[in-house]
Structure 1
Amino acid sequence: MSTRNDRHLTMDDLRGRIEAGDVDTVVLAFTDMQGRLQGKRLHGRYFLDHVVGHGTEGCNYLLAVDVDMNTVDGYAMTSWEQGYGDMEFVMDEQTIRLLPWLPATAMVQCDLEWADHRPVAASPRSILKAQLDRLADRGLVAQAGTELELVVYEDTYEEAWRKGYRDLVPANQYNVDYSILGTTRVEPLLRDIRNHMYAAGLDVEGAKGECNFGQHEVGFLFNDALTTADNHVVYKNAAKEIAAQHGKSITFMAKPNEREGSSCHIHLSLRGADGELVFWDADKDARTPLYDRFIAGVLATAADFTLFFAPNINSYKRFAEGSFAPTTLGWGLDNRTCAVRLVGRGAGARMENRIPGADANPYLALAAMIAGGLHGIDGEIELEPELTGNAYASDKPRVPSTMLAARERFHSSTVVRKALGDEVVDHYANMADIELAAYNAAVTDWELVRGFERL
């Protein structure tokens, strides 16, 4: 089997490294609902003797827990009554990579299947692959890139926990957007992240400062959508691990404080099965009707799919006017106030979805964009006129402003149910219900400050 690039390993490569003693630990991992890597660390010899060719399993509760790993009610696929059985970890051998920031360690990313080899429909990777199959049926493939912002703190994760995540010290004390001096101060960490990610098979562009104190972005080249999502979750996990090795901490919260939030802008374009352009007419030097319909579909379904772009309570704090996070649903040419920004020409023509925050699950966000775009193509939806000027002041439909509003749109949408299936929709609506119930039961610092003495 071919590898994604020359820094990935084949199974034969991995076997040779284990037998030579260069690799002694193999991580088998899948991506859960919250976008986190979950799985097992296996001894290399055990991996070769008992897992290769046979597989391994994990409890199905891993796709039915809250962020604190509590078992919760409401999921059809698992419960106490059903006994919390196993899912099969099915290795995707194209994802084999070294984890160079950890000694003698490799990773293989997995799909999830039931014992009868049916895909676990609620698995984020399965959801994206289902939408990619819909594209393939039309002779199309998706190319994507994710721009993921983060905030670096001088506190370790342990210190941050003990401080209740209050009064943390950001790695920069002022806005370092594009500042070389500001990024130099964090360069030992950023350089380690860049170089380790390249060695792990990601194609690194570079790093730059952002607006919030301690906020930075490490950029990567676009790739096919599944590879991009796989790399995204590896990078997100690795950045935290590497930060911990530096005695620092990183957060990918969408809105960690009252300043600028952290985004995950997603760039997406379609190509033909043989790589031919389908979004750009070279003879006319203009967008194709298919491109326009795809954009129209993404916009028409954006509110319905917002739960996949903004999957947490905190996500909705990011949608604020004048923040570079969108509040209205319109498109514009190179207009960063719009939810959908069109950039590039020819082979570089692509749409940028500016709705997702850094806490988005990339498999789910990409699946939502593809499903929305296909809705536009199949329905031949006409693209509305370009939005010029300040989209914050426009009369366009609004991005849902709360998780509850997004959950209701998602759960009741016939378009979403047709694209994803009832099983997936009900599963992720229940995830939202669990988070909403937990949040509504919490007494926050804001309430105490406002009400303890003065009310």
Structure 2
Amino acid sequence: MPTEATVAGANAAKAAMFGVSDFDGVLRGKHVLGEDLSNRDRIIKFSEAVLAWDCSDRVIPVSFTQKPLSAFGDADVRILSATGRLVSCVGNQYLYLAEFTGKHENICPRGILRKVLRRAADHGYRCAVGFEFEFMLFKENADTIEDKPFGEWTPLTQGPFGYSIMRSVAQHELFDEILALCEKARIPLSGLHFETGPGVVEASLRHCDALEAADRATMFKSMIKAWAQRRGMMATFMAKVSEDWPGQSGHIHVSMSSDGQNAFYDSNAFGNVSKLMRQFIAGQLNYMNEFCVLAAPNFNSYKRLVPGCWAPISPSWGVDNRSCAVRAIPGEPSVHRLEYRLAGADANPYLALACAIGSGILGVEKGLALSAPIVGDASVEMILPSARLPQSLSEATSWFAQSTAANDVFGERFVEAFSCSRRWEWEAVQHRVTDFERRRYFEII
């Protein structure tokens, strides 16, 4: 006879949700009633419009790069039974991840990452990945942020106090809830602490297989935002919330293994950085400008990539150097890895990881040589304009759209579709007249 818990679990599975990532990394989906999603993958019909919407649900023209233009019908979506997670601290609320298949698989963010990981596997390598996210908590709700100007929003804590034990103890109930939520959702954390900036928290997700890591990261961002709203707060993963505060990063830790051994590790090499790891980092640096828009996908992203904000401003690398875009972290084989520091917290985890690994694999395939590591502050050492990362979403999009390497790694249809979406995002913001401009120019100019 089935137990009460078994019946509850079965009923929950038949009233579960699924979510599929759009270009911005936002999970779009719905409840699926009357079907058990837990026992096998299944393909259902779901609106293809979610791949044509921007973050405000406006249709991006020719976003599918189809001629004639799409009428936005239904597309095939594969619900992934192994990804089901309990996403609520109370009750039985299950969420399953999904991916587009069929004609839209080659522009589906999860599909793009799978394509990159297959390329690594073809060379005999598996990738282990851990994401870190900084996010900011405000004691506001969806109504008050509309009714009040930004200057009146109240962050969870005031002023910077990174790694504060006092604040962690004072806010232990919130931290306990985050830890419990992540534990139930099978998204184990390896760290949780306050970061520099008012109300800024950093969560380190435990490393695992690359695709699973991106799944966890995508779900984590949605869960934290939903949890905060249930708590009467708002959480944001914007790359730069205020010019007065540091930006919010989405650093990605990567290692590669072959035959069960860490292929990045060489005990006889400087910093334990193996020849393969040198080629991998060389690829990341060589293609960083061309692929940058995948890790910095929004107009706001480029306000984080400025000197003095613990974010890279150039394609640079160093050994345990946090001012660089790529940080080699030496250690025993079990922990030896690199940290890809270009990505902001606002990036789509699937695409940011595809950027970090895809560029690295190109370096391995081409046997690229690595420059000397930066010693000291990379924002001071790399000051020539020619050495800088793209300065805007528009510039980064142009790099990506014209990149033969991007077409090779990600596919022409995706490059065209994603470039179209980023041009649209740039145009949606750049023509807006802001309050800052009015205050600066209205009377004097």
TM-score by length of 2: 0.93
Stretch deviating more after TM superposition (120-129 or 164-173)? 164-173
**1:55 Cα deviation from its structure 2 partner:** 3.1
Q: Is residue 424 of structure 2 the alignment partner of residue 441 of structure 1? A: no
Q: Could you tell me how far apart the structure 2 residues matched to 1:436 and 1:86 are?
A: 28
Structure 1 residues 265-290: Cα deviation after superposition (integer angstroms, max 9, x where no partner): 11111111x42221113566832211
Stretch deviating more after TM superposition (95-104 or 287-296)? 95-104
1:374 maps to what in 2? 361
- In the alignment, which of 366, 386, 395 is matched to residue 373 of structure 2? 386
2:170 maps to what in 1? 185
Q: Is residue 125 of structure 2 the alignment partner of residue 137 of structure 1? A: no
**Counterpart residue identity of residue 299, structure 2:** I
Q: Could you tell me how far apart the structure 2 residues matched to 1:433 and 1:380 are?
A: 33
Secondary structure in structure 2 of the residue aligned to 1:303: helix
- In the alignment, which of 151, 157, 172 is matched to residue 172 of structure 1? 157
Structure 1 residues 156-185: Cα deviation after superposition (integer angstroms, max 9, x where no partner): 222112225442101111212011112233
CA contact (8 A) 2:86 2:185 kept: yes
- In the alignment, which of 264, 283, 286 is matched to residue 250 of structure 2? 264
Q: Could you tell me how far apart the structure 1 residues matched to 2:277 and 2:297 are?
A: 27
Stretch deviating more after TM superposition (238-247 or 122-131)? 238-247
CA contact (8 A) 1:171 1:186 kept: no
CA contact (8 A) 2:21 2:110 kept: yes
Stretch deviating more after TM superposition (163-172 or 79-88)? 79-88
Q: 1:22 to 1:133 in 2, by over 3 A?
A: closer
Secondary structure in structure 1 of the residue aligned to 2:228: helix
CA contact (8 A) 2:160 2:195 kept: yes
1:142-161 equivalence runs, <5 A:
142-161=127-146
2:209 maps to what in 1? 224
Q: Could you tell me how far apart the structure 2 residues matched to 1:22 and 1:374 are?
A: 41
TM-score by length of 1: 0.91
CA contact (8 A) 1:194 1:206 kept: no
Q: 1:22 to 1:73 in 2, by over 3 A?
A: closer
Structure 1: 5+ residue stretches without partners: 1-11
**1:207 Cα deviation from its structure 2 partner:** 1.1
Q: 1:138 to 1:450 in 2, by over 3 A?
A: same
Q: 1:141 to 1:373 in 2, by over 3 A?
A: same
Structure 1 residues 109-151: Cα deviation after superposition (integer angstroms, max 9, x where no partner): 112113xxx5521111000000000011111111111110011
Q: Could you tell me how far apart the structure 2 residues matched to 1:284 and 1:82 are?
A: 54
Structure 1 residues 67-93: Cα deviation after superposition (integer angstroms, max 9, x where no partner): 101112122356884321211121222
**1:361 Cα deviation from its structure 2 partner:** 0.7
- In the alignment, which of 311, 319, 324 is matched to residue 338 of structure 1? 324
Q: Is residue 92 of structure 2 the alignment partner of residue 101 of structure 1? A: no
Q: Could you tell me how far apart the structure 2 residues matched to 1:176 and 1:157 are?
A: 26
Q: 1:256 to 1:22 in 2, by over 3 A?
A: same
**Counterpart residue identity of residue 89, structure 1:** V
2:404 maps to what in 1? 414
- In the alignment, which of 254, 268, 286 is matched to residue 300 of structure 1? 286
Q: 1:179 to 1:403 in 2, by over 3 A?
A: same
Tell me the matched-pair count. 437
Structure 1 residues 242-297: Cα deviation after superposition (integer angstroms, max 9, x where no partner): 1111111111000001111100111111111x422211135668322111100100
Structure 1 residues 176-215: Cα deviation after superposition (integer angstroms, max 9, x where no partner): 2011112233332222111111111011223111111111
1:8 maps to what in 2? none
Q: Could you tell me how far apart the structure 2 residues matched to 1:283 and 1:174 are?
A: 45
Q: Is residue 32 of structure 2 the alignment partner of residue 42 of structure 1? A: yes
1:175-214 equivalence runs, <5 A:
175-214=160-199
**Counterpart residue identity of residue 366, structure 2:** G
Q: Is residue 439 of structure 2 the alignment partner of residue 453 of structure 1? A: no
**Counterpart residue identity of residue 253, structure 1:** M
- In the alignment, which of 248, 252, 276 is matched to residue 233 of structure 2? 248
**1:25 Cα deviation from its structure 2 partner:** 2.5
Q: Could you tell me how far apart the structure 1 residues matched to 2:90 and 2:297 are?
A: 30
Secondary structure in structure 2 of the residue aligned to 1:191: helix
The percentage of aligned residue pairs carrying the same residue is 29
Q: 1:303 to 1:52 in 2, by over 3 A?
A: same
Structure 2: 5+ residue stretches without partners: none
Q: 1:24 to 1:185 in 2, by over 3 A?
A: farther
**Counterpart residue identity of residue 387, structure 1:** I
Secondary structure in structure 1 of the residue aligned to 2:32: strand
Q: 1:106 to 1:381 in 2, by over 3 A?
A: same
Secondary structure in structure 2 of the residue aligned to 1:433: helix
1:64 maps to what in 2? 52
Q: Could you tell me how far apart the structure 2 residues matched to 1:170 and 1:19 are?
A: 38
CA contact (8 A) 1:194 1:218 kept: no
**Counterpart residue identity of residue 328, structure 1:** S
**1:441 Cα deviation from its structure 2 partner:** 2.4
Q: Could you tell me how far apart the structure 2 residues matched to 1:87 and 1:160 are?
A: 35
Stretch deviating more after TM superposition (179-188 or 434-443)? 179-188
Q: Could you tell me how far apart the structure 1 residues matched to 2:43 and 2:212 are?
A: 22
Q: Could you tell me how far apart the structure 2 residues matched to 1:301 and 1:53 are?
A: 36
**1:24 Cα deviation from its structure 2 partner:** 5.7
Secondary structure in structure 2 of the residue aligned to 1:218: strand
CA contact (8 A) 1:28 1:40 kept: yes
Stretch deviating more after TM superposition (415-424 or 100-109)? 100-109
**Counterpart residue identity of residue 100, structure 1:** S
**1:22 Cα deviation from its structure 2 partner:** 5.3
Structure 1 residues 310-334: Cα deviation after superposition (integer angstroms, max 9, x where no partner): 0000000001212111112211111
